[in-house]
Amino acid sequence: MDDFKVQQVKDFLTYLDTIKGMSPRTIKGYKSDLNMFFKFLLCNRKNPTDIEQITDNFISNIQLQDLHNFIKYLEVERGNGANARSRKISSLKSFFEYLQRMGRIENNPTINLEMPEIKKENPTYLTLKQCQKLLKSISGDFKERDYCIITLFLNCGLRISELCNIDIDDIQDDILTITGKGNKQRSIPLNDMCIKSLKNYLKVRSKDLNKIKDKDALFLSKNYTRISTSGVSNAIKKHMKKARLNPNKYTPHKLRHTAATLMLKYGNVDIRSIQEILGHESVSTTQIYTHVDDDMLRKATSSNPLNVEV
């Protein structure tokens, strides 16, 4: 991406970072999507413009048909599914809305750009027995660390970036303070198992205090630096294999799904509480976890007070 020199996009990415407080990973996604769009435009113009010379006037002349051609290219040439195309459309919409708000273009060509229809599917999650199997399978040199990581995922529904960014000072008594999307903070009460796994891990962590390079970081890599998202993913993949669970199906984000599902299924927790714990801005996002299985449906109908002969 280092060769990407469209000034308007640079300004937009700076806005996402400094004003919106988006994560580096999210900003990288926007950058990739917009990079691809402008390179597509230039390759399909009769008189290509050097990418460094793209002006506000050039962008003002982008039409809805240009956007449709790009979406078609994503589908046919790159094999992008509905979800991938939808993400790129969201990037384009955000970018053009920003330019219009800043007064750099008069008309926004994405206003009538429709999202592809996406089939709604229930989130993939581990059953309670699978969770217990996974936790029992954890072993190795980083047993205490990995047990604590997976315990927090399964009990607190954290995003992987949130978990990696936890500092020791973020834990006060039984409250974990998480900095989520947009630098918004939320507090999550830790249950007994979370506290126990944290204490066990911190005992091990304290043995090598003089080697630790990132003193504030809670979770450390084998190099004594803050653990990375790839480090967490690799650790979870390893333990999934040990537990004979599909590591490609049950990713760290699926552990977040699992936490939400188990809280709803076994905890008699209302949807607003789940929204607060997960850090969702809108309750509509949380509602994907309200899927129920056949046993819950049977329980619901059986508990009806009219389920008696009159």
Active site residue 253: yes
Active site residue 291: no
3 state DSSP class of 177: strand
Active site residue 289: yes
| Strands annotated E in the chain | 171-172, 175-179, 185-189
Cβ neighbourhood burial of 183 (10 Å; 0-12, 13-18, 19+): exposed
- Residues across the chain: 310
Active site residue 256: yes
Active site residue 280: yes
107-116 own/partner pairs: CB under 8 Å, 24+ apart: 107/60, 109/62, 109/63, 109/64, 109/66, 109/67, 110/64, 110/67, 112/64, 113/64, 113/67, 113/68, 113/89, 115/86, 115/89, 115/90, 116/71, 116/82, 116/85, 116/86, 116/89
Residue of 28, 106, 19, 95 whose CA lies nearest to 60: 106
Q: Which of 85, 159, 226, 239 is catalytic?
A: 159
Do the beta carbons of residue 289 and residue 164 sit within 8 Å? no
Query: H or E stretch including 83?
Result: helix 82-101
| Whole-angstrom distance, CA of residue 166 vs CA of residue 159 | 11
Active site residue 239: no
| Whole-angstrom distance, CA of residue 228 vs CA of residue 158 | 15
Q: Which of 31, 145, 239, 256 is catalytic?
A: 256
Q: Which of 133, 181, 186, 238 is catalytic?
A: 181
Q: Which residues contact 40 (CB under 8 A, 6 or more apart)?
A: 69, 70, 73
Q: Which of 39, 104, 253, 291 is catalytic?
A: 253
Q: Which of 85, 145, 226, 280 is catalytic?
A: 280
Catalytic residues: 159, 181, 253, 256, 280, 289
